Amino acid sequence: MRPSILFPLFADIRTLSGVGPKLEKLIAKVAGPKLVDLIFDLPVGVVDRSYRPKLNKIEPGRIATVTVGVLEHIPGRVKSQPYRVRVSDDTAVMDLVFFRADAKYLTDILPLGSQRIVSGRIESFKDRLQMAHPDYVVEHDSALPAHEPVYALTEGLAAKSLARAVRGALEKVPQMPEWQDPAFLKREAFVPFGEALAGVHTPRHDADLSPETPMRRRLAYDELLANQLALMLIRAQLRGPAGRRIEGDGRLRAKAIAALPFALTDGQLTTLAEIDKDMASDKRMLRLLQGDVGAGKTVVALLALLNAVEAGLQGALMAPTEILVRQHCASLEPYAKAAGVKLAALTGREKGAAREAVLKALAAGEIDILIGTHALFSDDVSFRELGLAVIDEQHRFGVHQRMTLQAKGKPADVLVMTATPIPRTLALTAYGDMDVSRITGRPPGRKPVETRVMSAARLDDLIAHLKHALDEGQRAYWVCPLVEESEKIDLAAAEERFVMLKQVLGDKVGLVHGKMKAAERDTAMAAFKAGETKLLVATTVIEVGMDVPEATIMVVEHAERFGLAQLHQLRGRVGRGSGKSSCLLVYHGNLGEAATARLKTLRETDDGFVIAEMDLKLRGPGEMLGKRQSGMEEFRMADPAAHDDLLAIAHDDAKLMLTRDADLKSPRGEALRVLLYLFGRDEAVRYLRTG
């Protein structure tokens, strides 16, 4: 149960004075529905009102605070004209300009002959100074803040209303127990939580907005520690006290390896040894398998699954899309057959009698390995005895889904595979509950993909080159970022580009995008795979898992709009066969500094781990992960890229704390429970034996 000290912060925004239903809805849109969301809604800018020049020395374009006398009121002759109030100091004259003005209100706050302090942005218009809609019109300095935090807004939400709500929420912050180690606080010169929170909401200069300020670092550490503690508590629950040793005799695995057309790489063998060791222990396995595009993760997963089958258990392989499930089935079937193992698929497409037959065979233990989408989570899916669950493309699944699948077997081991190499800092924040294996190196026979960057001005040359390549029997992808034309973003839409390329290249062009029905998409991909179409125009729906060895050309249009990791994934769709492959990154307009750095990195390296680290540096964690990576935690105070030194400390601190006080019963442990609730890690508290 949430500690009572936090009750005020988990009250609804509407409990604040002056916040009605309309304002509540707008604030909730930008920050969240509770007061705790407001205190963690950091300023994105600061307004400095300390610039106080005389009017004759003023710099137009700046925010200035000036003391002036009111000379005259000049209403507009018609309603559409602005209302002007002429003011001056002893050096020059200026107009205060108001649109859709209320004359009575303006004569009340700016009476003729009075002296007022006004603050706002000064502009020069027809050689006269003016200030449109001053931010402040006050009689005394005391009513004017010298520095004001600026928060992100949404349409209809006034800056002053949000700032006032944040101040109201900050007033409700109670005196918190200190959950940090005193020696650590002293070493880092960190102030208490409440003081740090007040500090980040009262910036004076742009430098105060940096994630590197001591106050922001203090709050970032609090959040990172909550994250690491939560992951470790969940890990302890997932692993559980009960486990079982899974040790096969190698007979099925040997048959599958003999059927492979290539030898396993050193990287695959090392990873396999780590997995075998985990499975043979009496603790549940919870391991993340990272490998670059085409590093051979799926083969490692199959061999791990065969280990479970040899031990008399069943295996499950879960993938995020139906296309990937079908692909896994097609690619693994020959080796499963060679090993004499029964493989089956289960997706949303299996219905009625066909689905019933699969479920019945699964429950009876007649299916050794089941490959499926999240349909595997359904309540009616029950294994006779599940030994190992493999989850492909981890970033589509969160911690809770891992637990759901694992619960299908008494103490099933879990192996998670991701084709997107994850920087160390993000691996710790998102997968701190897992051991990590990395497959490094390229499989034998894989050739590097030649990467070129070109301007859209040369599109005609590119299409001519493509026509020649397709005539020679090659296959190609053309990736666009959007599905249909958006008025706001002028991007080449997939449908429009498809029509244009079809006119030039004829019927050999196919189209696939995320808004198509699953069956239509499968048909389009199958046609490309079979060679019925030679060029596939697509959105990033093909980013993961599309495996067509005959495809040798990847064109990415508007490459400047994609992230590094995503471009690397797309490039990985080619270079899968024996032919020489190329990736053409087409940019529109002038390249900015960040886009230039991204494209340069891609030209220079094909190491996914190097690329992932660079992507994190260039884009930061939030943008790099995007909405799709639902397994990721959302951070409000911490920036894993800027605070990676703190992340490592938080990891060690959490580990030590749980070793000494597994139930968080000590005085510091009790304070840490408050911290977990404060940062929304309630899920983890439930796993404390006395929680």
Q: Are 225 and 217 in contact (CB under 8 A)?
A: no
> Per-residue pLDDT tens for 581-600?
999 999 988 888 888 888 99
pLDDT given for residue 489 in this prediction: 40
pLDDT higher than 80, residue 410: no
Superfamily for the 50-144 domain: Nucleic acid-binding proteins (2.40.50.140)
Q: Over the range 171-205, which residues count as b (16 or more CB within 10 Å of their CB) and which as e?
A: ebbeebbebbeeeeeeeeebeebeebbebbbbbee
pLDDT higher than 90, residue 540: no
β partners of residue 72: 86
pLDDT higher than 80, residue 399: no
Element (H, E) at 302: helix 297-310
pLDDT given for residue 402 in this prediction: 59
The identity of residue 132, as a single letter, is A
Highest mean pLDDT pick, 187-201, 366-380, 628-642: 187-201
Confidence of residue 487 (pLDDT cuts 50, 70, 90): very low
pLDDT given for residue 490 in this prediction: 37
- 120's CB contacts (< 8 A; 6+ apart) are 63, 64, 131, 132, 133, 134, 135, 136
Which of 41-50, 416-425, 489-498, 507-516 has the weakest average pLDDT? 489-498
Angle 297-310/322-339 helices, nearest 10 degrees? 50
Region 599-610: what's the mean pLDDT?
86
pLDDT given for residue 323 in this prediction: 77
pLDDT given for residue 291 in this prediction: 83
pLDDT given for residue 396 in this prediction: 53
How far apart CA 304 and CA 341 sit, in angstroms, is 13
Of 330, 333, 356, nearest in space to 343 by CA: 333
Token pair recorded at residue 85: 């109030």
> Per-residue pLDDT tens for 309-363?
999 999 999 988 787 888 889 889 999 999 999 999 998 777 889 899 999 999 9
pLDDT given for residue 373 in this prediction: 86
Q: Are 636 and 222 in contact (CB under 8 A)?
A: no
Q: Which one-letter DSSP state was computed for residue 7?
A: G
> Per-residue pLDDT tens for 445-471?
677 899 999 999 999 999 999 999 999
pLDDT given for residue 488 in this prediction: 39
Token pair recorded at residue 411: 């103490």
How far apart CA 370 and CA 344 sit, in angstroms, is 5
**Secondary structure (H, E, C), 589-639:** CCCCHHHHHHHHHHHHCCCHHHHHHHHHHHHHHHHHHCCCCCCCCCCCCCC
pLDDT higher than 80, residue 268: yes
- 236's CB contacts (< 8 A; 6+ apart) are 658, 662, 687
Half-sphere exposure for 633 (CA within 13 Å, toward CB): 28
Residue matched to tokens 């004359």: 103
pLDDT given for residue 538 in this prediction: 87
pLDDT given for residue 434 in this prediction: 78
Q: Which residue has the higher pLDDT, 325 or 671?
A: 671
pLDDT given for residue 491 in this prediction: 43
Q: What is the average pLDDT score of the chain?
A: 87
The identity of residue 605, as a single letter, is T
Q: Over the range 680-691, which residues count as b (16 or more CB within 10 Å of their CB) and which as e?
A: bbeebbeebeee
> Per-residue pLDDT tens for 112-123?
999 999 999 999
pLDDT higher than 90, residue 137: yes
> Per-residue pLDDT tens for 165-186?
999 999 999 999 999 999 999 9
Q: How far is CA 137 from the centre of its chain?
A: 43
Which of 274-288, 477-491, 607-621 has the weakest average pLDDT? 477-491
Q: State what percent of residues in the chain have pLDDT above 70.
A: 90
Strands 535-538 and 509-512: parallel
Phi, psi of 599 (to 5 degrees): -70, -35
pLDDT higher than 70, residue 544: no
Confidence of residue 650 (pLDDT cuts 50, 70, 90): very high
How far apart CA 492 and CA 348 sit, in angstroms, is 33
pLDDT higher than 80, residue 428: no
Gyration radius of the chain over CA positions: 31
Q: How far is CA 297 from the centre of its chain?
A: 23
Confidence of residue 635 (pLDDT cuts 50, 70, 90): confident
Confidence of residue 627 (pLDDT cuts 50, 70, 90): very low
Of 477, 506, 679, nearest in space to 585 by CA: 477
Q: Which residue has the higher pLDDT, 362 or 487?
A: 362
Half-sphere exposure for 1 (CA within 13 Å, toward CB): 3
**Strand arrangement of the beta sheet that strand 509-512 belongs to:** 450-455, 582-587, 551-557, 475-479, 535-538, 509-512
Q: Are 432 and 254 in contact (CB under 8 A)?
A: no
Judge: domain 251-439, CATH 3.40.640.10: no
Pick among 3.40.50.300, 3.40.50.2020, 3.40.50.2000, 3.90.550.10: CATH of 450-605? 3.40.50.300
Q: Which residue has the higher pLDDT, 463 or 379?
A: 463
Angle 424-431/644-660 helices, nearest 10 degrees? 40
**Strand arrangement of the beta sheet that strand 314-318 belongs to:** 343-346, 369-372, 314-318, 386-392, 413-418, 286-291, 435-439
How far apart CA 277 and CA 288 sit, in angstroms, is 14
Region 265-282: what's the mean pLDDT?
94
> What spatial distance separates the first Cα and last Cα of the chain, rounded to whole Å?
8
Region 548-573: what's the mean pLDDT?
87
Of 615, 634, 607, 633, nearest in space to 290 by CA: 607
Q: How far is CA 200 from the centre of its chain?
A: 24
Phi, psi of 211 (to 5 degrees): -65, -10
Reduced to 3 states (helix: H, G, I; strand: E, B; else coil), residue 202 is: coil
In Å, how far are 26, 165, 233, 240 from 687, measured between CA atoms? 35, 35, 6, 11
Q: Are 468 and 456 in contact (CB under 8 A)?
A: no
pLDDT given for residue 575 in this prediction: 84
pLDDT higher than 70, residue 546: no
pLDDT higher than 70, residue 408: no
pLDDT higher than 60, residue 632: no
> Per-residue pLDDT tens for 195-209?
999 999 999 999 999
> Per-residue pLDDT tens for 39-93?
999 999 999 999 999 999 999 999 999 999 999 999 998 888 999 999 999 899 9
How far apart CA 63 and CA 415 sit, in angstroms, is 57
Region 549-573: what's the mean pLDDT?
87
pLDDT given for residue 689 in this prediction: 54
| All structural domains of the chain with their residue ranges | 4-46+150-208, 50-144, 217-240+643-685, 251-439, 450-605
Residue matched to tokens 């079979």: 530
